[in-house]
Amino acid sequence: MNKIHHQITEIAKKTIEPMNIVFPAQYGKIYAQLAKEHNLELKTEELLAREMLDEKMIRHIISLCECTDQALDAMETNDKEKLKAVIEETNRLRDEVGELKKIVYEDSLTKSYNRKWFDDTYLAQHDSLYLRGEGTVVLIDLNRFKEINDTYGHIVGDKVLSHVALKLKETGGRVVRYGGDEFLIIFDGKNTLSQIKKKIAVLHEYWEKISFKTEDHNFKISFSCGMAPF
């Protein structure tokens, strides 16, 4: 295993050699792609955290820090012209803040919420065993998903995950990619347990009927689930 990692590292180093500037996220994407080509499935701890390393996120943070510094300086010096300019810049940065939140809270593959969003939005600050507010949480766990990756490749597996997330969103709940092939659907208190069970039953029926096709092969997916009010 270490030999494969060493080979991939050497190839990655040669790939980035012509580049003048390399962000960690760029190197991470190159390494992950090379790992796929060598049929190496990286463990969670071996993957770079996109939320911490995305180049766009870094640029937004720098812009926001500069704007904050200018605002503090304008207030301390009572410079009205500078303060006016800062207000204009702040209005412009509102869009950047929206983009920043999207980077932090969106799963890049499935475009659903990520685990950090779930933690920040629903977990009680004083005790992570409890959820804030009230509603129902449903855990969706795809069955034998690793077999799909091993048999048809990660590109096919990624397409399956994207399709699954799309269908889960049709339930009307907030969809979170909680792990590799694990999703959460969070329903607010307006949805009864009976209504939610019917929505999950519709999902079961849908995946029993349809098949995925790749080249000359067809395969089906199924899932296990559990639900609990909070």
- Give tens-digit pLDDT for 7-28: 888 888 888 888 776 666 677 7
Question: Domain-by-domain residue ranges, the chain?
Answer: 2-53, 55-105, 113-229
- 3-class DSSP string for the chain: CHHHHHHHHHHHHHHHCCCCCCCHHHHHHHHHHHHHHCCCCCCHHHCCCHHHHCHHHHHHHHHHHHHHHHHHHHHHHCCHHHHHHHHHHHHHHHHHHHHHHHHHHECCCCCCEEHHHHHHHHECCCCCCCECCCEEEEEEEECCHHHHHHHHCHHHHHHHHHHHHHHHHCCCCEEEECCCCEEEEEEECCCCHHHHHHHHHHHHHHHHHCCEEECCEEECCCEEEEEEEC
Note the pLDDT of residue 51.
Answer: 45
Q: At what angle do helices 55-77 and 80-105 cross, to 10 degrees?
A: 150
Q: How many angstroms separate the first and last alpha carbons of the chain?
A: 43
Note the pLDDT of residue 30.
Answer: 82
CATH code that applies to domain 113-229: 3.30.70.270
Residue reference for tokens 């209504």: 195
CB atoms within 10 A of CB 209: 8
Write down the mean pLDDT value for the chain.
84
- The answer to whether residue 60 scores a pLDDT higher than 70 is no
User: Which comes out higher in pLDDT, residue 81 or 193?
Assistant: 193
Residues 104 and 116 sit within 8 Å (Cβ to Cβ)? yes
pLDDT in tens, 73-130: 777 788 888 777 877 777 777 776 777 777 789 998 999 999 989 988 888 766 667 7
